[in-house]
Structure 1
Amino acid sequence: MIVEASAATIGLALAPPAPRIRDLLTITARPEIVSLAGGLPDPDLIPRTRIREAGAEALARPDAVQYTETAGWFGLREVIAARESAAGSRSVDPREVVVTHGSQQALSLLAQVLLDPGATVVVEEPAYTGALQVFRLAEARILTVPLDADGMRTDRLEELLDAGERPALVHTVSNFHNPGSATMSAARRRHLAALADTYGFWVIEDDPYGEIWFDAAPPAPVADHSDRVIRLSSASKILAPALRVGWLRAPRPVCAAVELVKQGADLCGSTLTQRIAAVMLSDGPWLAGHLERIRGAYGARAAAVAGAFGDRVSATVIGGGMFCWLEFRDGTDTAALLEAALDHGVAFVPGSAFAVGGDHRATARLCFTTNDESALAEAVDRLAAAHASADRRRTQSTQS
């Protein structure tokens, strides 16, 4: 299904879910609630000692506490360019990198550069809420195409294009999708890139989770296949959210336009945290060991929630990232289930929070990274009890 919504409709239809998620995160701050709702890394796996050491190394230079270039400290851009080059088959120039205040700022800046009010944007359904907020504020006309186990349905995108739609950009979370868990197949990456070349739209390849794989690394980036792909990523999920270091990789004219807009937004980011990130990201042996540790921990936790509810749900295979996406087969309304879950001391995000035009009443997103296996086992038990309670209520309501 291809779903269309005007900017005015989107403003009405999508404004409520974000406050509900914020309210839910406030509730989950209560100590008695085991939260599967947020999208947070485990604080015990954030390398505080290494951050402290990198901070001391950075502070040995006086310019670490001075302003830096709007596009980011060039030393970090060199590190990012080298890592982006190693991730694919294309050589990336540091001048094709802009460092941002998290990848969300990169998305916001790109919307200002690439979108006029009323411009068409294509997103996946279910959709990443952060992208929806940005595109709604840009007054975009949003179309959706479905997501399945192999990522964005690029065949459905091609149908949309054949029907005459001409999007300014297409947004995809290509690896370990938030919220849908899926990873785009290599064939679909090539197809998406070919469509971008043929029809002249930009692709934003949003990839904050790509290094958190469990069994095998994801396919080569979409950006390997076309110059019309802009890649976003972040140090938040593998180092620390508080560093607020994200980046975009794009052709130099796009970077120049983003830099101009960024000058009006914040002039420049934090030289100190950018230098800290550069120290850590360039320390190959340490980083490899750190990534191995978090992949092992999160992989075990993914396994702990993957079997929740058994054959009552279908679940996307979790190859990496932070989320498990469930679809109930038994008529469960997850908004009602959430009410029962909170009564049982556990929280998650109902799938309706990620809907644009699709029906996600039977779906749910669980985040497995913040809690260890013992806490996750308890959370699954509480969810099972909540589901049984919601089942009884639904049965009683039907009988009455």
Structure 2
Amino acid sequence: MRSHASYRSSIAQHFAPFNYSGIKHVINFSYGAPDPATFVELAWPDAFNQNTGVAAADLMQYTDAMGLPELVTKLALRYNVRHDQVIVTGGASEAIQLLIEAWINPGDVILTEDPSYLGALRTFSVLGATVLQLGMSAEGVDLNELKEVLQTSSRVKLFYTSPAFHNPTGRELSRTHMAEVAALLAHHGLPLIQDLVYAELSYNGAVDWLAPGGNVINIHSMSNIAAPGLRVGCVLAESDIIARLARLKCDGGVSPIISNIVLGLLQSGALDAHISRLRQHYRAKRDTMHTLLRRSCICEPGYVVPSGGFSFWVRLAANTDIQTFIEAARREHDVHLIHGRSYGPGSGHHVRLCFSYLPTAAIEQGLSRLNDLHAKLHSHSGPRTRKLEDLNSDIGAFSV
């Protein structure tokens, strides 16, 4: 049937749909999904448990656009905000979508770093935004670039970032730096959106991020700290912003049944105990990948060792044709990578290597296959891997 396609539908055709079923059967380093082995370690409450304080009739009914009231109250306590500063969303994805719909008309400009979160970049594009990606350092976005853009462009509407921990670089962006960013944006009447889905998965102690309020809007999610199948997230912001988002929600609220599960986890303390285990679990997987990368020649040695989150961001070794490497890895070795330019125009020599989802054996096998491929493509350029005795000289190049 021939039919008219909307502008958004036409843009969306340029992106592949998410296909979790497909990633289960290959070694895919591109997706930062939680480790399914951790799901059984959480003490899951009964979805219909009325000890949470939610009546049986309310569990089976629609709920408020703001979310199940009992869950909203619990989230407000958890994140130290008022009840009217919380809206429950269908994961962080809906949170991002609602915020863009609240601020952006087609052609308006969204600022973010180069590189930035692939899922957010897709949402920005489908909703008609012009995305301008600015350079970044270890501290965060280049403030000089940010100042210049804010002074010269009247179509900038917001700044999006993931400061703890940055996706895809894995950096913990300085709170002081982010306060400067927020102040610059506030001077121009613009919001700062902080995507904090990894913030509770720190491997080196507590993380300090800007609290919501004023022009600062924070996004949280249960996906990485409990399970993505819950599809429960939240936005924390000033009450007038929350009210605006609630009017954009066209559903009957996030499922009360699923919300009751999350509420039970929060009330029992099971979630916080689980998060402590997750930090140890993912830190061990991070350390495994770090050790393997130190022995590998597929990437430059000066990468950042992430202090939280799910992935490494590495620059492929010099003289590597990244497109050839990625295509050959998929075709010949069933190892999947995404080209760095998808994360930003200045990131074309990088790839994201996620360690969260894959079993340790698959991480080892995948990197071994990439090493073999690198050796094949660079057979004329020297030894395949660095010797273990040479590794000590590289330690200073790593930033933990």
- TM-score with structure 2 length normalisation? 0.84
CA RMSD, aligned part only? Answer: 2.6
The one-letter code matched in structure 1 to 2:254 is: G
> Within the alignment, does 1:287 sit opposite 2:271 as a pair?
yes
Partner residue of 1:330 out of 318, 338, 348: 318
Question: Quick one: distance in 2 between partners of 1:159 and 1:84?
Answer: 34
Which of 215, 218, 226 is residue 228 of structure 1 equivalent to?
Answer: 215
> After the TM superposition, which residues 95-114 of structure 1 pair with which residues of structure 2 at under 5 Å, given as runs?
95-114=84-103
Other-structure match for 1:379: 366
Instruction: Return the match for 2:327 from 339, 343, 361.
Output: 339
Per the alignment, do residues 302 and 156 of structure 1 end up closer, same or farther by CA in structure 2, a change over 3 Å counting?
Answer: same
**Gap change, CA 1:129 and 1:273, over 3 Å in 2:** same
1:297 paired residue number: 281
> 223, 228, 235: which is aligned to 1:248?
235
- The one-letter code of the counterpart of 1:382 is R
Distance 2:159 2:102 in 1: 14
Query: Unaligned stretches of 5+ in structure 2?
Result: 1-6, 383-400
Find the aligned partners of 1:341 and 1:58 in 2 and give their Cα distance. 51
Quick check: 1:123–1:172 contact (8 Å CA) kept in 2?
A: yes
The answer to whether the Cα contact below 8 Å between 1:323 and 1:365 also exists between their aligned partners in 2 is yes
CA drift at 1:221: 2.3
AA of the residue aligned to 2:283:
G
Deviation at 1:230, TM superposition (A): 1.0
| Bigger fraction of residues in helix | 1
Secondary structure at the aligned position of 1:144 is classed as: strand
**Helix, strand or coil for the counterpart of 1:230?**
strand
Q: Does 1:42 align with 2:42?
A: no
Q: Distance in 1 between matches of 2:265 and 2:285?
A: 25
| Mapping of residues 200-219 of structure 1, within 5 Å | 200-219=189-208
Distance 1:27 1:258, change over 3 A: closer
Deviation by residue 1:222-245 (Cα, 9 ceiling, x = unmatched): 53xx51011111001111111110
SS of 2:67 mapped into structure 1:
coil
* Change in 2 beyond 3 A, CA 1:102/1:393: farther
Deviation at 1:171, TM superposition (A): 0.6
Matched, 1:277 2:262: yes
Deviation, structure 1 residue 113: 1.4
- The size of the alignment, in residue pairs, is 366
Once the two structures are aligned, what percentage of the paired residues are identical? 27
Shift of 1:26: 6.4
SS of residue paired to 1:169:
strand
Spell out, residue by residue over 1:286-343, the C-alpha distance to the aligned partner (whole angstroms, 9 max, x if none): 3332111111110111111124135734312210101110012412233222223221
Structure 1 segments unaligned to the other structure (5+ residues): 1-7, 86-91, 396-400
Structure 2 match to 1:179: 168
Structure 1 length as normaliser, TM-score? 0.84
